[in-house]
Amino acid sequence: MISHIFPFYYQVEGVILMGNKYKDYAQDILIAVGGVENIVDVTYDTKCITIHMQHTIPSTANEVKQIVDVTSVAENDAQLVIKLKGNVDEVYQKLQRLIKNANVEEGANTDNINSQDTSYTPQVKVTTPILVKAPIAGRRILLKEVRDSIFREKMVGEGLAIKAHEESKVIAPFNGLVSMIVPTKHAVGIQSEDGVDIVIHIGVNTVDLEGKGFECFVKQNDRVEAGQTLLQFDQQYIQQQGYNADVIVVISNSADLGKVELTMNEIITTEDVIFKIFKN
């Protein structure tokens, strides 16, 4: 009888220990960012947890880097992106539970101290973002560095550009509908099932090439799947004609969607998420 119980015991004990490990990670992260009161919101994907803070703390990144299973930490103003090699979902869930418990406890203490007190503990907004992957691999370029003022000033929408490696195929970043193809084949629009409109534009002033150096594999109103080839361009030919061949990727309806987080990766693959969109 005991021989049947022991394997079950060890299995359960292992689950408990793993759970405690993730809770410890979450607790360490919470302390490093300055506690619940300094958190605006927390989001995650399969590789990382992103925390928006009320204000930055100089030591935060270094403290988080010391946590086991944390592979890298990136800071951008009050945004902290924590990459983990372990179970990101488990750490995120433990972090949310700690935040919730802290809010409940603080609320109870406030009620006990002074029922007339109107102060409150900020509630952390839990939002699942829409993820958009890169349509081509290469080096990230910020829009402010793009030579075309229309894109640089974000008149078309929020986004970034990618200086492509040798690969010249542009693929669909998600399942969706081809909403636009320009006659000169240097730009294509695609709308996701979530209502995100992406414009992929090859180069600057490449409309002047009148379609030379470009090949399109889809038609307007085609249904496409993530990873499907949309168009191809001859980067060498375009550059020989004196034109820039950077791939500009923008969310044309970003103003209507809400907050957009851009990737902080300098080098991008087609498996990387370049946009996290938090719809209003």
Alpha helices (H) in the chain, listed in sequence order? 2-32, 60-65, 88-113, 149-152, 235-240, 254-257
Residue given tokens 């085609």 in the structure block: 222
Calpha distance 65→80 (Å, rounded): 12
- Give 82-120 pLDDT, tens digit per residue: 998 878 888 888 888 888 887 765 555 545 545 555 554
pLDDT score recorded for residue 2? 38
If you average pLDDT over residues 209-213, what whole number do you get?
95
Calpha distance 263→269 (Å, rounded): 11
Phi-psi region for residue 159, left (φ > 0), alpha (ψ -120 to 50) or beta? left
pLDDT score recorded for residue 138? 93
- Give 144-185 pLDDT, tens digit per residue: 898 888 898 899 999 999 999 877 999 999 999 999 999 999
**Which of the pair, 77 or 200, is modelled with greater confidence?**
200
Mean pLDDT of the chain: 83
If you average pLDDT over residues 119-136, what whole number do you get?
73
Residue 136 CB contacts under 8 Å (≥ 6 apart), including other chains: 162, 164, 167, 168, 169, 170, 171, 247, 270
Q: Give the 3-state secondary structure of residue 260.
A: strand
Asked if residue 121 has pLDDT above 60, the reply is no
pLDDT score recorded for residue 115? 52
If you average pLDDT over residues 218-228, what whole number do you get?
95
Q: In what order do the strands lie in the sheet with 70-76?
A: 70-76, 79-84, 48-53, 39-44, 125-126
Asked if residue 200 has pLDDT above 60, the reply is yes
Which range, of 120-129, 220-229, 253-262, averages the lowest pLDDT?
A: 120-129
Is residue 3 very low, low, confident or very high in pLDDT (cuts 50, 70, 90)? very low
Q: Is the dihedral of CA 198, 202, 207, 212 positive or negative?
A: negative
Domains of the chain: 2-109+119-126 (3.30.1360.60), 130-279 (2.70.70.10)
Calpha distance 8→124 (Å, rounded): 37
Q: What are the phi and psi torsion angles at 51 (to 5°)? A: -120, 125
Catalytic residues: 201
pLDDT score recorded for residue 279? 82
If you average pLDDT over residues 252-273, what whole number do you get?
90
Residue 61 has which token pair?
Answer: 């990144």
pLDDT score recorded for residue 104? 66
**Which of 9-13, 85-89, 127-131, 217-221: highest mean pLDDT?**
217-221
